[in-house]
Amino acid sequence: MTRLTNGTWVLIADGEKAMFLENVTDGEDPHLQVRRIEQQDNPKDIDQSANRPGRMQEGRPGGDSSGPRSAFQDTDWHQLAKDRFADDLAALLFRQVHRGDFDAIVIVAAPGVLGELRKEMHKEVLAKVVAEIPKTLTNHSLQDIEKLVKAELAAA
């Protein structure tokens, strides 16, 4: 069972927002305080796309271009921004580890963000991760986050 000890950080993240919290009590009755909040403006993909998807005329051998037309897959700018946000978080965690900001961290993130973070985190950061919880809690109150994280860690 992983416990939130005094000084353990908890990162709550999704693809657009991250809250860095610190437990200032013990694992029996955790009390999390906000240390830092990171947020990016990431409008829906439709609002970020400037054009309709491109189209390609499928020609036949010999130059006949009367064949069917097919669309190119358009870039999902919204998802790309979420992935970049996770990459930026991994870099921020690396800087925080080198400054000695935390000795242990619990990462609570949306499953996709957690996977992207895992791919991008440096081994020095990974060594400080004491637990991972694949949940989206960024819109929960601090009191709810404390209860949910405590329950998840007790079940682990």
Q: pLDDT grade, residue 71 (50/70/90)? A: low
Q: What is the mean pLDDT of residues 40-60?
A: 51
In residues, how long is the chain? Answer: 156
Beta bridge partners of 32: 23
In three-state secondary structure terms, 92 is helix
Predicted confidence at residue 84, as pLDDT, reads 82
| Structural domains of the chain sorted by starting position, each given as residue range(s) with its CATH number in brackets | 1-39+78-156 (3.30.420.60)
Contact 151, 12 (CB under 8 A): no
Could you tell me the pTM of the whole model?
Answer: 0.75
The answer for residues whose C-beta is within 8 angstroms of residue 25's C-beta and 6 or more apart is 6, 31
Residue entry with tokens 């242990």: 104
Percent of the chain residues topping a pLDDT of 90: 55
